Amino acid sequence: MSRIYLCDFEDLTPEEPLLVEVEGLELAVIRKGDEVFVIDNQCTHGPGSLSEGDLDGYTIICDFHDGGFDIRTGEPVIPPCMVPVRTYEVERDAGAIMIAREAEAVTCARKFGSG
């Protein structure tokens, strides 16, 4: 399966999301320690850009209305966000950060507050 190269691990600053636009995707690439997470950059609540958000633990806080998502699952964890944000399985090859080109996005189906 072919992969989409996003950036090198060394391009990532811990706790500072990086906006990567590639092949029609607009992604926020987030380094948390030695882990890397990739989510859609577009907040599901409105026009917020999640790459401009702040990280609090594993929660990315959208700077538009201060809603939040778990970067591990995409689950909305702070209202007003209600709809999960798309997450991508990260593949690493040496220092390269990639996602599978045809991978199904791992999306949390549960909406905030619906159980």
> Which positions touch ligand FES (CB under 6 A)?
43, 45-48, 62, 64-65, 67, 80-81
**CA dihedral of residues 5, 11, 16, 20 (deg, nearest 10):** -30
Residue 77 or 98: the one with the smaller Cβ distance to ligand FES is 77
Beta carbon of residue 10, minimum distance to ligand FES (angstroms, whole number): 29
Beta carbon of residue 76, minimum distance to ligand FES (angstroms, whole number): 9
Residue 40 or 91: the one with the smaller Cβ distance to ligand FES is 40
Q: How many CB atoms lie within 10 A of CB 44?
A: 19
Residue 3 or 66: the one with the smaller Cβ distance to ligand FES is 66
Tell me 50's DSSP state.
Answer: G
Can you tell me the distance from the alpha carbon of 41 to that of 53, in angstroms, rounded to the nearest whole number? 10
Beta carbon of residue 41, minimum distance to ligand FES (angstroms, whole number): 11
Residues 94, 99, 101: CA angle, nearest 5 degrees = 125
Residue 98 or 112: the one with the smaller Cβ distance to ligand FES is 112
Q: Please name the residue that has the structure tokens 């996003």.
A: 6
